[in-house]
């Protein structure tokens, strides 16, 4: 698939912008801060309903205005889909597909698929577990949009369960002499039994939905792993053994099994999660938060014998993050039978010349590649000469080739 | 506007700044706006719009509205048995001997009774819980009409319970809680089949979908 046309209104630095695109390589060149990333960010948003740079929509709306519009015409094997999004920070966003409104913006997921690699992705290797979990979950949703629902259900259940742990703590805590808010005639023991029963309900729901999410992540990682090793090696021209293991928050034995690559069935994962919750019950009550579950898990990236985090060089970390994104690209391409749109934001400047050339070769056969660079010369000759180049300056986009 | 002009009390004394509507009107008009603003889903702007509508309306219409408001508080109440809205101590459904006395449909709110009734799929009785378990909103099982439900089950007439709480996180949790609570009582517990919009609200499910969900209800085995 490829984006044929992008237009934005009051998005980031642009009052309006129109960008004609086509298959092959398109390079956006311009000095720092001129609005190159803003344009590819808009395309990424069309595909994922989120920005790769910020968690909230507010910074996406041009300063001083209250809503932004992103419109993209997507060509899928000759069939055209027009996706329109209206971003209204503080209020509900709205979406249209082929000019008719959809009931939830989430319903546009799947119309466009992108894999976006940007400097921020270095945190996949160097940063906190949350970024790696989000990488897996975002990819799950790109693969099958229905996972967006499971993911949001999990978040909601988790919030409810944490609220219960916090509010019921005085009743649940052992040896507490003064439980809060007893019903008339109710003995403290009954209050505790009732709170435990309610907690049991949330345990079973979080384990059910959590096991679905966990199962999906494990299968995803199993499918991703060979592509990761291959992509890393292809970019770095080495045999590095770059790979990824899932670190679950279950009991020791199943956690080790899963780290070794085993993917238990969902029903088993549900039981394992229930057991893990039972194990940490007292600590959870003490601390008032949920201490196990997919929201506490991590993906451990290793390069040969060593963990990438804390050991890999800057360039290696960069290549690892790139390897993860290229692996995601391969996976989606195999799954869907069509190419997602590959976006490389400011990638080439960070790579040595060998890696630049090899990356250029790797992406040469992708249906559509969008590249941004502050210095045009950083982008390998081969890519610049085959494609189209736009010069971006102060929010103006000019066709230069 | 020059301040203190007589006969203009209903107009803004302080102009509106941005979206914030502070107490900008005088006396009784502001009181009306404040009261309207406390209604569900009525924001400050809507409250102001309704207030001005009332100010300009025909006095007979306003009198009628005031009368109905007082009347509803005076005459309408909640059914002693099921918690549905009612004119008498028992609602029309509870008082109707033709309804199937062996089956109770448990819903969150009285408005859900209306939604299920519209489907014409269910001929039994109702029980309104008065909400759903939601720790984030400080609602636990003890805040729902569960004890009242238990006492309705004590004489053994009821053999089936349909838990028709909303198909969202809170509704599902409430259903699980209830089914665990009731499972040792020898009563068949079912839940309307899926097909209801997940994450949704029973009230907004269309009749056909909700009707089908009732036909295809499944046993709860949690
Ligand atoms: N909500 C907004 N309203 C107005 N301007 C904004 C908004 N968000 C970002 N900008 C402006 O957009 C510019 C950044 O654009 P962008 O990130 O696309 O730059 P770039 O061309 O990719 O630069 P670099 O080469 O440094 O990556 C900044 O000057 C910033 O002030
Ligand atoms: Mg940039
Ligand atoms: Zn009744």
Same domain (yes/no): B119, B185: yes
The answer as to whether B2 is a domain residue is no
Q: What are phi and psi of A24, to 5 degrees?
A: 90, -160
Same domain (yes/no): B187, B102: yes
Our CA-based measurement puts residue B187 at a distance from the nearest CA of chain A, in whole angstroms, of 20
Distance of CA A6 to the CA centre of its chain: 22
Tens of pLDDT, residue by residue over A102-138, are 988 988 999 999 999 999 999 999 999 999 999 999 9
The answer as to whether B5 is a domain residue is no
Tens of pLDDT, residue by residue over A184-240, are 555 567 778 888 899 999 999 999 999 999 999 999 999 999 999 999 999 998 888
The answer as to whether A275 is a domain residue is yes
Of residues B161 and B8, more confidently modeled: B161
Helix axes B169-182, A188-236, angle to 10 degrees: 130
A52 CB less than 6 Å from ligand 1? no
Q: Give the domain extent around B113.
A: 98-191
Gap between the Cα atoms of A389 and A399, Å rounded: 6
Which one of B137, B139, B142, B179 makes the best mutation probe of the A interface by having the most chain A beta carbons within 10 Å?
B142
A59 CB less than 6 Å from ligand 1? yes
Of residues B210 and A144, more confidently modeled: A144
Terminal-to-terminal C-alpha distance of chain A: 23
Q: Check residue B20 and report its DSSP letter.
A: B
For chain A, percent of residues with pLDDT exceeding 90: 76
Q: Tell me which residues of chain B, numbers 139 to 178, contact chain A at a CB-CB cutoff of 8 Å.
A: 140-142, 169-170, 172-173, 176-177
Within 13 Å, how many C-alpha atoms sit on residue B216's CB side? Answer: 10
Distance of CA B118 to the CA centre of its chain: 16
Gap between the Cα atoms of B114 and B84, Å rounded: 10
Q: Give the domain extent around A302.
A: 125-337
> Of A167-176, A177-186, A380-389, which range is least confident?
A177-186
Q: Whose CA is nearest to atom 8 of ligand 1?
A: A12
Same domain (yes/no): B164, B202: no
Gap between the Cα atoms of A42 and A70, Å rounded: 7
pLDDT at A372 exceeding the cut of 50: yes
pLDDT at A400 exceeding the cut of 90: no
| Neighbouring-strand partners of residue B190 | B162, B219
User: Cβ atoms within 10 A of the Cβ of A396, count?
Assistant: 13
Q: How many domains does chain B have?
A: 3
List Cβ neighbours of A239 (8 Å cut-off, separation of 6 or more).
A233
Same domain (yes/no): B178, B151: yes
Same domain (yes/no): B103, B177: yes
Which one of B165, B171, B173, B175 makes the best mutation probe of the A interface by having the most chain A beta carbons within 10 Å?
B173
Gap between the Cα atoms of B199 and A369, Å rounded: 37
The answer as to whether A62 is a domain residue is no
**Sign of the dihedral defined by the CA atoms of residues A252, A257, A258, A263, in that order:** negative
Q: Residue A342 — very low, low, confident or very high, per pLDDT cuts 50/70/90?
A: very high
The answer as to whether A329 is a domain residue is yes
Tens of pLDDT, residue by residue over B84-132, are 999 999 999 999 999 999 999 999 999 999 999 998 889 999 999 999 9
Tens of pLDDT, residue by residue over B45-64, are 889 999 999 999 999 999 99
Ligand 1: centre distance to CA A39 (Å):
10
For chain A, percent of residues with pLDDT exceeding 70: 96
Same domain (yes/no): B37, B21: yes
The answer as to whether A154 is a domain residue is yes
pLDDT at A255 exceeding the cut of 80: yes
Same domain (yes/no): B204, B168: no
Domain CATH for B59: 1.10.8.420
pLDDT at B19: 40
Same domain (yes/no): B159, B185: yes
The answer as to whether B11 is a domain residue is no
Gap between the Cα atoms of B162 and A6, Å rounded: 51
Same domain (yes/no): B199, B179: no
The answer as to whether A107 is a domain residue is no
The answer as to whether A260 is a domain residue is yes
User: Cβ atoms within 10 A of the Cβ of B96, count?
Assistant: 12
pLDDT at B16 exceeding the cut of 80: no
Tens of pLDDT, residue by residue over A51-73, are 999 999 999 999 999 999 999 99
Residue of B200, B135, B137 whose CA lies nearest to B164: B200
The answer as to whether B1 is a domain residue is no
Ligand 3: centre distance to CA B80 (Å):
7
Same domain (yes/no): B187, B167: yes
- Tell whether B45 lies on the interface with A, counting CB pairs under 8 A: no
The answer as to whether B85 is a domain residue is no
> Of A187-196, A226-235, A265-274, A374-383, which range is least confident?
A187-196
Q: Tell me which residues of chain B, numbers 173 to 202, contact chain A at a CB-CB cutoff of 8 Å.
A: 173, 176-177, 180-181, 198-199
Chain A residue at shortest CA distance from B142: A183
Same domain (yes/no): B60, B113: no
According to DSSP, the β-strands at A306-307 and A396-399 are: unpaired
The answer as to whether A170 is a domain residue is yes
Q: What is the mean pLDDT of chain B?
A: 83
DSSP string, B78-143: E-TTT--EESSSS-TTTT-TTS-TTEEEEESSHHHHHHHHHHT---SEEEE-SS--BGGGTB-GGG
pLDDT at B20: 43
Domain CATH for B112: 3.40.1360.10
- Tell whether A184 lies on the interface with B, counting CB pairs under 8 A: no
pLDDT at B199 exceeding the cut of 80: no
Gap between the Cα atoms of A118 and A40, Å rounded: 10
pLDDT at A385: 82
The answer as to whether A72 is a domain residue is no
User: Cβ atoms within 10 A of the Cβ of A108, count?
Assistant: 21
Same domain (yes/no): B106, B186: yes
For chain B, percent of residues with pLDDT exceeding 90: 53
Gap between the Cα atoms of B112 and A21, Å rounded: 51
Gap between the Cα atoms of B51 and A253, Å rounded: 66
Nearest to B172 among A149, A198, A205 (CB): A205
Measured between beta carbons, which residues in chain B are less than 8 angstroms from residue A148? none
Q: Whose CA is nearest to atom 16 of ligand 1?
A: A35
Domain CATH for A177: 1.20.1050.90
List Cβ neighbours of B172 (8 Å cut-off, separation of 6 or more).
A205, B165
Task: Give the global pTM.
Answer: 0.83
pLDDT at B221: 54
Q: What are phi and psi of A111, to 5 degrees?
A: -70, -40
Q: How many domains does chain A have?
A: 1
According to DSSP, the β-strands at A368-373 and A388-393 are: unpaired
């Amino acid at each position: 698939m490829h984006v044929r046309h992008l237009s934005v209104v009051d998005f980031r630095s642009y009052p309006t912008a129109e960008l004609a695109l086509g298959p092959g390589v398109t390079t956006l060149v311009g000095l720092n801060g001129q609005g190159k990333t803003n344009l590819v960010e808009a395309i990424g948003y069309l595909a994922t309903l989120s920005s790769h740079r910020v968690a909230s929509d507010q910074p996406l709306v041009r300063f001083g205005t209250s809503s932004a519009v992103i419109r993209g015409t997507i060509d899928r094997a000759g069939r055209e889909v027009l996706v329109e999004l209206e971003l209204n920070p503080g209020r509900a966003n709205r979406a249209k597909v082929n000019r008719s409104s959809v009931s939830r913006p989430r319903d546009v997921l799947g119309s466009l698929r992108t894999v976006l690699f940007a400097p921020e992705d270095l945190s996949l290797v160097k940063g906190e577990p949350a970024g790696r979990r989000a990488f897996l979950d975002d990819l799950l949703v790109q693969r099958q949009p229905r996972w967006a629902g499971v993911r949001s259900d999990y978040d909601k259940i988790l919030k409810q369960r944490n609220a219960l742990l916090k509010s019921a703590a005085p009743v649940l805590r052992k040896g507490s002499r003064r439980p809060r808010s007893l019903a008339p005639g109710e003995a403290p023991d009954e209050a505790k039994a009732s709170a435990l029963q309610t907690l049991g309900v949330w345990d079973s729901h979080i384990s059910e939905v959590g096991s679905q999410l966990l199962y999906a992540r494990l299968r995803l990682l199993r499918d991703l792993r060979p592509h990761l090793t291959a992509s890393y090696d292809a970019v770095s021209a080495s045999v590095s053994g770059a790979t990824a293991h899932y670190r679950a928050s279950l009991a020791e034995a199943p956690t080790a099994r899963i780290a070794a690559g085993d993917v238990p069935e969902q029903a088993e994962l549900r039981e394992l999660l229930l057991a893990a919750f039972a194990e940490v019950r007292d600590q959870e009550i003490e601390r008032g938060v949920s201490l196990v579950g997919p929201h506490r898990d991590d993906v451990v990236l290793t390069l040969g014998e060593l963990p990438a985090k804390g050991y890999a060089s800057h360039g290696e970390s960069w290549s690892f993050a790139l390897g993860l994104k290229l692996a995601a690209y391969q996976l989606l391409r195999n799954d869907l039978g069509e190419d997602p749109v590959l976006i490389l934001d400011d990638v080439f400047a960070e790579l040595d010349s060998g890696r630049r050339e090899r990356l250029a070769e790797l992406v040469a056969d992708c249906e559509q590649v969008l590249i941004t660079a502050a210095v045009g010369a950083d982008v390998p000759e081969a890519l610049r000469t085959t494609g189209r180049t736009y010069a971006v300056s102060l929010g103006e986009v000019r066709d230069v080739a | 506007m020059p301040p203190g002009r007589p006969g203009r009390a209903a107009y803004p004394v302080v102009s509106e700044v941005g979206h914030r509507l502070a107490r900008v009107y005088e006396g009784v008009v502001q009181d009306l706006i404040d009261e309207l603003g406390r209604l569900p889903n009525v924001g400050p702007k809507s409250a102001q719009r309704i207030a001005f509508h009332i100010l300009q309306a025909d006095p007979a219409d306003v009198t009628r509205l005031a009368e109905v408001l007082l009347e509803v508080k005076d005459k309408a109440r909640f059914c002693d048995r099921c918690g549905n809205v009612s004119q008498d101590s028992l609602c029309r459904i509870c008082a109707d001997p033709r309804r199937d006395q062996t089956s109770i449909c448990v819903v969150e709110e009285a408005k859900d009774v209306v939604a299920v009734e519209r489907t014409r799929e269910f001929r039994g009785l109702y029980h309104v819980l008065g909400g759903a378990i939601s720790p984030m909103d400080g609602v636990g099982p003890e805040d729902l009409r569960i004890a009242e439900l238990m006492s309705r089950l004590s004489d053994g007439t009821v053999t089936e319970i349909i838990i028709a709480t909303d198909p969202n996180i809170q509704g599902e949790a409430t259903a699980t809680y209830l089914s665990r609570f009731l499972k040792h009582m020898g009563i068949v517990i079912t839940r309307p089949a899926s097909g209801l919009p997940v994450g949704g609200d029973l009230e907004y499910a269309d009749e056909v979908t909700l009707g089908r969900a009732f036909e295809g209800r499944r046993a709860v085995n949690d």
